[in-house]
């Protein structure tokens, strides 16, 4: 049998933004003091979704688009676990769009890190839900005509607990956002991470992002819904990064009467003796 040898080296292209995200995640977990034994990394399918394989954690790599429901089940079964979804824009904003919408409404304590490179990597270069209009590919030969998904605005609208954006091109900023997310206890976190794709996206490059990203203004009040909506909708010449919205809602798990008696796992084990 001719077979490739088993190894666990990243399948990413040299220069891929995923390397920066992986390295930063490791640093952020360290800084936030996250116990790896209690950490579950959940992902779907795509190049970003392979990240959990390249670090030390419990891993649930599931189906394309279905990381959020799986993460929801994990968090409900044992809400003492730190459940982090780390996956791409196609997985989270495309295939898993319905789950995304309802996860924000549900507001369970799952941290969602979306590697958003505005293009499909694993399937080789088709448009993603966040591709800008006019973006041409081998499928979208006449350019994208669909309006891009605005994940941050969607999250703000549906009451996601913490909504933020960062970029793989600024690791210090990214780390601070990841630490903020890991320390957050109020419910769902969406951290949209702008990420260059060196192979399939020659529009939204390192340079393109670097020229456009800028911190949200100091006087931005993330608890102000309308201000947050405005910032969340900004795109183009200036792209805001930082904490955009805090809904202040109570988390899903904190509102379940049954969970007042401990995690479901503890309750099962107690009953089983």
Partner 1 sequence: MDLLIRVAGEAGQGVQTTGNLLIAAMAEMGLHVFAIQSYMSRIRGGLNWFDVRIGDAPLYAGCEEADVLVALTDEARQTLQPYVTDGGATLFDADPDADDTGAPEGCLCIPLTGIAKETGGSAVMANAVAAGAVFALLGYDLSSLTAYFATAFEKKGEETIEANTKCAEAGAERIGEAAAGSIDAPEPTGEAVSVAGGTEAVGLAAATAGVKFATAYPMTPATGVLTYLAGVDERYGIVVEQAEDEIAAVNMVCGATYAGVPAMTMTSGGGFALMAEGLSLAGIHELPLVIILAQRPGPATGLPTRTAQQDLLFALHAGHGEFPRAVFAPGTPEQAYHLTRRALKIAHRYQTPVILMTDQYLADLVMDTPPLDDRLRPIDRYVTTDAGEEYVRYAVTDDGVSPRALPGGEAMVVLDSDAHTEDGHITEDLEAHLRLQDKRMRKLDGLTEHALAPDRYGPPDADLLLVCWGSTYGPCREAVDRLRSAGRRSAMLHFGQVWPLKTRLVRRAVGLEGNDARPPDRIVCVEGNQTGQFRTVLREAGVGVEAEPLVRYDGLPFTGKDIAERILS
Among 48, 74, 92, 164, binds partner 1 (CB under 8 A): 74
Residue 242 has a CB neighbour count (10 Å cut-off) of 20
User: On the CB side of 231, how many CA atoms lie within 13 Å of its CA?
Assistant: 28
Among 66, 173, 175, 184, binds partner 1 (CB under 8 A): 66
Residue 137 has a CB neighbour count (10 Å cut-off) of 18
Q: SS3 for 251?
A: coil
Among 78, 199, 234, 254, binds partner 1 (CB under 8 A): 78
Q: End-to-end CA distance of the chain: give it in Å, rounded.
A: 49
Binding residues among 38-57 for partner 1 as defined by CB under 8 A: 38, 40, 42, 45, 50, 52-53, 56-57
Among 58, 205, 234, 254, binds partner 1 (CB under 8 A): 58
Q: Would you say 249 and 156 are in contact if contact means Cβ atoms under 8 Å apart?
A: no
Based on the shown chain and the rule CB under 8 A, indicate whether residue 228 belongs to the binding site for partner 1: no
Window contacting partner 1 (CB under 8 A); options: 26-34, 202-210, 212-220, 262-270: 262-270
Query: How many binding residues for partner 1 (CB under 8 A)?
Result: 53
Among 19, 27, 69, 125, binds partner 1 (CB under 8 A): 69
In whole angstroms, the minimum distance from the beta carbon of 37 to partner 1 comes to: 6
Distance (Å, whole) CA 251 – CA 104: 10
Largest CA distance in the chain: 64
């Amino acid at each position: 049998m001719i077979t490739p040898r088993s190894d666990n080296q990243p399948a990413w292209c040299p220069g891929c933004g995923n390397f920066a995200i992986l390295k930063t995640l490791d640093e952020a977990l360290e800084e936030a003091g996250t116990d790896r034994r209690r950490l579950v990394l959940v992902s779907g399918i795509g190049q970003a979704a392979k990240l959990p394989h390249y670090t030390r954690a419990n891993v649930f790599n599931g189906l394309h688009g279905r990381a959020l429901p799986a993460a929801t089940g994990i968090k409900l079964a044992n809400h003492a676990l730190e459940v982090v979804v780390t996956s791409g824009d196609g997985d989270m904003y495309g295939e898993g769009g319905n789950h995304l919408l309802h996860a924000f409404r549900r507001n369970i304590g799952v941290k969602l890190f979306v590697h958003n490179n505005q293009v499909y990597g694993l399937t080789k270069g088709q448009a993603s839900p966040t591709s800008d209009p006019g973006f041409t590919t081998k499928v979208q030969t006449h350019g994208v005509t669909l309006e891009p998904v605005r994940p941050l605005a969607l999250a703000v609208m549906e009451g996601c607990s913490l909504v933020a954006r960062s970029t793989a091109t600024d690791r210090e900023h990214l780390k601070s956002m990841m630490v903020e997310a890991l320390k957050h206890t109020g419910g769902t976190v969406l951290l949209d991470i702008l990420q260059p794709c060196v192979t399939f996206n020659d529009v939204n490059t390192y340079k393109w992002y670097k020229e456009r990203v800028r911190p949200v203004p100091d006087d931005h009040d993330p608890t102000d819904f309308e201000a947050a909506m405005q910032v969340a909708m900004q795109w183009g010449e200036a792209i805001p990064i930082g904490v955009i919205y805090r809904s202040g809602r109570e988390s899903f798990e904190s509102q379940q009467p049954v969970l007042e008696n401990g995690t479901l796992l503890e309750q099962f084990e107690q009953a089983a003796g």
